[in-house]
Structure 1
Amino acid sequence: MTTMIGYLRVSTEEQASSGLGLDAQRQSIQRYADAHGWNVLWYVDEGVSAKSLARPQLQAALARLHVLPKSRDAGGIVVAKLDRLSRSVHDFSGILKLATARKWAVVAIDLGVDTSTPTGKLVANVMMSVAEWEREVIAERTSAAMQAAKRAGKHVGRVSVLPQATADRLLTLRASHTLTGTASKLNAEGLTTATGKPWSVNTVSKAQQRLSGPRAADVERGHR
């Protein structure tokens, strides 16, 4: 009998404690396994997002599969729905490539992806081709947009947006506090920078300049 890894995931602690989401996934996988004569080894990530593949039980499952075929005790990984494994087409494509290289199967029941069958392999290959095309198109568009922005003399790079409430509070504090005092106040109130980091003299100064434009220089000189 073939042994497969059944991977379950729920993204919130509430789902994990109720077991409802996990039970539905387990039942779906078990029905599929019974129909194919598979034994199932269960790996479960509870209260974990699928925004990346850095999940304890998923990594443990992949490590179990990432051995030579003769030493492997599982034939692949099966999920009830693709989004339990990954919400990123790029990440899923990477898993499929790894599975192909190491000769183990990937099964996503909801999409009919089952690389242990010829039809399932075809579906998986189409998905990988689409993912590759999507990456190339996005890269091409991004490059063209950046080049156009450079020609127009515009700033090219990551722009983080500061919440309006935080921006207003920063400007209010700067009217009567030094840069150091403003940073301390913002941090004490639990307000972070646009990238989620604590405030410093430097980040307060830069944020104020972006928010206030020419007026910032006058306030800067008066409240250092």
Structure 2
Amino acid sequence: MDVHYIVDHGKSARSLRRDGVQRALALLASGEYFGGVRTLVIAKLDRLSRSVVDFGNILRTATRQGWSLIALDLGIDMTTATRQLVAGILMQVAEWEAKIIGEGTKAALAVVKRERGIVPGPVSAVPAEVADQIAAMRAKGLTLQSIADDLNSAGIAPPKGGRWYPTSVRRAA
């Protein structure tokens, strides 16, 4: 019996687009490398995938191709419907955990950016010359309304078309 050890360190389990996982799935699909015993043994369920959809697809593939999946951290052989249910519930927790980690990371990055003076949000679609013109008018002390009126009178359209308003001037500056 051939045994293949595939190590897939340093990659996020949020996606199956990882060399190690793809190699293991390809070996299982071919069936030629296994002497009758076709099993994917994983150290931790949440290292295989953190996606309920991907995990469900792996289970369906295993059933269709006739191989089994064992998660050592859980001690679960997923060859029965009940064991697949338990693993699926645990996979939902793993997916939730990944989302919570992502939200925490995003919030921490936003704090760091604010501390460095980087304003979060989309990049302005206002051409640089118009933004410079608005900045110059604001530096002269013109009100947002008077700047909007001047831009409208000059026929300069805002990025999304229509007319300039004090709020669109404020966002553009």
TM-score by length of 2: 0.52
* 1:54 Cα deviation after fit: 0.3
* 1:57 Cα deviation after fit: 1.4
Computing the radius of gyration over CA atoms, which structure comes out larger, 1 or 2? 2
Correspondence 1:122 to 2:82: yes
Q: 1:216 aligns with which of 162, 168, 173?
A: 168
Instruction: Say if 1:111 and 1:219 are closer, same or farther in 2 by CA, change over 3 A.
Output: closer
Corresponding residue of 2:22: 59
* C-alpha contact 2:70 2:78 (8 A) present in aligned 1: yes
* C-alpha contact 1:76 1:106 (8 A) present in aligned 2: yes
* C-alpha contact 2:8 2:19 (8 A) present in aligned 1: yes
Corresponding residue of 1:178: 129
Corresponding residue of 1:42: 5
Mapping for residues 50-89 of structure 1, pairs under 5 Å: 50-67=13-30, 69=31, 71-73=32-34, 75-89=38-52
* 1:108 Cα deviation after fit: 0.8
Corresponding residue of 2:144: none
User: Which of the pair is proportionally richer in strand?
Assistant: 1
| Distance (Å, rounded) in 2 between the aligned partners of 1:113 and 1:104 | 15
Instruction: Give the fraction of aligned pairs with identical amino acids, expressed as a percent.
Output: 35
Aligned residues: 120
TM-score by length of 1: 0.41
Corresponding residue of 1:197: none
* C-alpha contact 2:43 2:73 (8 A) present in aligned 1: yes
| Distance (Å, rounded) in 1 between the aligned partners of 2:82 and 2:171 | 64
User: Which of the pair is proportionally richer in helix?
Assistant: 1
Corresponding residue of 1:190: none
Cα deviations by residue, 1:75-102 (Å, 9 ceiling, x for unpaired):
1211111111011122111111110110
Instruction: Say if 1:57 and 1:177 are closer, same or farther in 2 by CA, change over 3 A.
Output: same
Structure 2 spans left out of the alignment, 5+ residues: 93-109, 133-157
Mapping for residues 2-13 of structure 1, pairs under 5 Å: 3=2
* 1:42 Cα deviation after fit: 0.7
* C-alpha contact 2:78 2:87 (8 A) present in aligned 1: no
SS at match of 1:92: helix
| Distance (Å, rounded) in 2 between the aligned partners of 1:42 and 1:98 | 20
Structure 1 spans left out of the alignment, 5+ residues: 4-39, 135-162, 182-203, 207-211
| Distance (Å, rounded) in 1 between the aligned partners of 2:21 and 2:57 | 14
* C-alpha contact 2:44 2:73 (8 A) present in aligned 1: yes
Correspondence 1:106 to 2:69: yes
Amino acid at match of 2:71: A
| Distance (Å, rounded) in 2 between the aligned partners of 1:168 and 1:54 | 29
Supply the RMSD in Å over aligned alpha carbons.
4.2
Instruction: Say if 1:213 and 1:100 are closer, same or farther in 2 by CA, change over 3 A.
Output: farther
* C-alpha contact 1:114 1:121 (8 A) present in aligned 2: no
| Distance (Å, rounded) in 2 between the aligned partners of 1:205 and 1:78 | 55
Amino acid at match of 1:215: T
| Distance (Å, rounded) in 1 between the aligned partners of 2:47 and 2:83 | 18
* C-alpha contact 1:82 1:108 (8 A) present in aligned 2: yes
